[in-house]
């Protein structure tokens, strides 16, 4: 399917690895010029080469910390300087620490809020004038988590703080319209480096006899498998394209059907 985003300009945050990188690859593969982002410059450069290997447009790497307002301004400025505008904003961020409520202190809560919510606030505010100026509808896609649909044991920060992103996304879908559409994706487990590290650590602790056995625990869904990051990336690219032109203000769960919530 031609997503009709050839020549568009996209900014994808936290895209040096994981689901952010998969989203950048999907957009670049379908013709968008893409700015990718991460804090580790060596890993970011490796990601740029990987995204560029499938791209038909340009790929630019811009390092930056999403909890730093100046770095966010620089991300938007770089995208506009390189490509003239921003047609698509995809927000992603690393997951907050796991742990139960009584072992989570005020600093943990503030750090999670700055990373997960304020990064999206600042990015949307900086990018909006550019998203709204194009001849086609601009798009915002927020990558959050299935935890906003169904609380996950031991993830109090993700369960709670990510809900703020969904409320913001729904608000932007109204306030930015009709020039800009805003949606979210709620991923379940995908075989990213983070999942691989968690499974490897569990094997080292003796909880599993093998990586395959540990991975099977993450694949408890009707499809009986863990997600490929590109499946999430493809969903992000679709929501960024004119092919989803009447989809606005929604949150799409991408988890193989594991979430028990009806809505």
| 129's tokens | 């004038």
Same domain? For 153 and 213 the reply is no
- Would the pLDDT of 197 be above 90? no
Number of Cβ atoms within 10 Å of the Cβ of 212: 10
| Position 144 in a domain | yes
Decide if 254 contacts 185 (C-beta within 8 A): yes
How confident is the prediction for the chain on average, in pLDDT? 95
Gap between the Cα atoms of 93 and 117, Å rounded: 10
The CATH number covering residue 247 comes to 3.40.50.720
Q: Which residue in this structure is represented by tokens 């447009």?
A: 57
- Would the pLDDT of 72 be above 90? yes
State the angle between helix axes of 193-204 and 211-218 in degrees (0 to 180), rounded to the nearest 10.
Answer: 120
**Backbone angles phi and psi of 117, in degrees to 5:** -100, -55
Gap between the Cα atoms of 93 and 89, Å rounded: 13
Predicted model pTM? 0.95
Mean pLDDT along residues 133-154 = 93
Same domain? For 220 and 106 the reply is no
Summarised one tens digit per residue, pLDDT across range 22-42 is 999 999 999 999 999 999 999
Same domain? For 22 and 152 the reply is yes
| Predicted local confidence at residue 196, as pLDDT | 84
| Position 260 in a domain | no
Summarised one tens digit per residue, pLDDT across range 240-261 is 999 999 999 999 999 999 998 8
Gap between the Cα atoms of 185 and 122, Å rounded: 19
Closest CA to 69 of 39, 16, 114: 114
Same domain? For 38 and 68 the reply is yes
Gap between the Cα atoms of 58 and 31, Å rounded: 9
Same domain? For 148 and 208 the reply is no
Same domain? For 22 and 54 the reply is yes
**Backbone angles phi and psi of 262, in degrees to 5:** -70, -30
What's the total number of domains in the chain? 2
Same domain? For 173 and 206 the reply is no
Range of 154's domain?
9-188+229-254
Gap between the Cα atoms of 177 and 30, Å rounded: 25
Same domain? For 139 and 125 the reply is yes
Gap between the Cα atoms of 216 and 239, Å rounded: 29
């Amino acid at each position: 399917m031609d997503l009709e985003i050839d020549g568009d300009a996209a900014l994808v945050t936290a895209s040096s690895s994981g689901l952010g990188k998969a989203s950048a690859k999907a957009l670049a593969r379908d013709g968008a010029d893409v700015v990718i982002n991460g804090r580790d410059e060596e890993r970011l450069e490796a990601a740029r080469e990987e995204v560029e290997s499938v791209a038909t447009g340009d790929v630019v790497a811009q390092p930056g910390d999403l909890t730093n307002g100046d770095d966010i301004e620089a991300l938007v400025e770089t995208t506009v300087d390189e490509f003239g505008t921003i047609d698509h904003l995809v927000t992603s961020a690393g997951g907050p620490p796991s742990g139960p409520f009584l072992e989570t202190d005020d600093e943990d809560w503030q750090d999670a809020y700055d990373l997960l919510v304020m990064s999206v606030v600042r990015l949307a505010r900086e990018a909006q004038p550019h998203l709204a100026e194009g001849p086609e509808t601009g798009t915002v896609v927020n990558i959050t988590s299935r935890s906003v649909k169904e609380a996950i044991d031991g993830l109090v920060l993700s369960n709670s703080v990510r809900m703020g992103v969904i409320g913001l996304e729904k608000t932007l879908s109204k306030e930015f319209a009709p020039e800009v559409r805003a949606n979210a994706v709620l991923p379940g487990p995908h075989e990213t480096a983070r999942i691989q590290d968690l499974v490897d650590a569990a094997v080292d602790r003796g909880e599993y006899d093998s990586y395959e056995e540990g991975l099977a625990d993450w694949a408890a869904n009707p499809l009986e498998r863990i997600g490929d990051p590109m499946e999430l990336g493809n969903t992000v690219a679709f929501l960024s394209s004119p092919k989803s032109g009447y989809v606005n203000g929604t949150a799409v769960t991408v988890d193989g059907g594991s979430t028990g919530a009806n809505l």
